């Protein structure tokens, strides 16, 4: 049975571990310098950083469970603006990750639908995200869900920059 849970500070270990594993699964092959990858994982998905983010009222996390087993999560940043997207009530889907072994089961689609519904309930008009340009599976997933390419940013991991298209969807 699929369940969605609004995460709270008690979920820090689950989110830190899911974040670390799923980021490495989805991006690890693209990052040439594995020292940079390890440093990024240690920083972005540390227990302290995860607890700090969970305390931020503008960061909302949702965990998806399959038979009570956490298989992925999403992070929605409220009132997030970027030059490529109209600033009227915009939010950012900063993270949406599913463990590799569960991707084929379409949990990503269910989680995306759930998060977009929640964003709409919060009266947001636009949702945007960035995705690594070589992550064609993710780009195709978003395009299939009516996200449009509206710009590009450079995302740094260590000293290496990675081009990330900005994709946006009107809610």
What domains lie within the chain, and their CATH numbers?
Answer: 2-129 (3.40.630.30)
Give 137: exposed, middle or buried? Use CB within 10 Å, 0-12, 13-18, 19+: exposed
At residue 134, the pLDDT reads 83
Here the tokens at position 89 are 């009530």
pLDDT value at residue 9: 95
CA distance 32 to 96: 23
139: nearest Cα among 30, 5, 19, 21: 30
pLDDT computed for residue 140 by the predictor: 94
Could you tell me the two tokens for 17? 């571990």
Query: How many CB atoms neighbour CB 22 within 10 A?
Result: 22
CA pair distance 57, 85, nearest whole angstrom: 22
Q: Position of tokens 């915009």?
A: 90
pLDDT at 60: 98
Mean pLDDT of each 10-residue bin along the chain, 171 residues long: 96 97 90 87 96 97 98 97 86 96 95 97 95 88 95 76 86 94
At residue 33, the pLDDT reads 83
Instruction: Give strand ranges (E) for the chain.
Output: 2-6, 59-66, 69-77, 90-98, 126-130, 148-157, 160-170
Residue 169: predicted pLDDT: 96
């Amino acid at each position: 049975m699929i369940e969605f849970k609004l995460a709270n500070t008690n979920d820090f270990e689950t989110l830190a571990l899911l974040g670390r594993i799923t980021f490495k699964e989805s991006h690890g092959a693209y990052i040439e310098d594995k020292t940079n990858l390890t440093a990024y994982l240690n920083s972005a998905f540390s227990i302290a950083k995860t607890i700090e983010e969970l305390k931020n009222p503008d960061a909302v996390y949702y965990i998806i469970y399959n038979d009570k087993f956490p298989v992925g999560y999403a992070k929605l940043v409220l009132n997030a603006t970027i030059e490529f997207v109209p600033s009227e009530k915009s939010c950012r889907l900063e993270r949406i990750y599913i463990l590799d072994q569960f991707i084929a089961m379409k949990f990503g689609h269910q989680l995306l639908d759930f998060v977009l519904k929640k964003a709409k309930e919060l009266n947001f008009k636009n949702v945007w995200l960035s995705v690594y340009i070589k992550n064609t599976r993710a780009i195709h997933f978003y395009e299939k869900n009516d996200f449009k390419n509206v710009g590009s940013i450079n995302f740094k991991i260590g000293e290496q920059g990675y081009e990330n298209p900005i994709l946006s969807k009107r809610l």
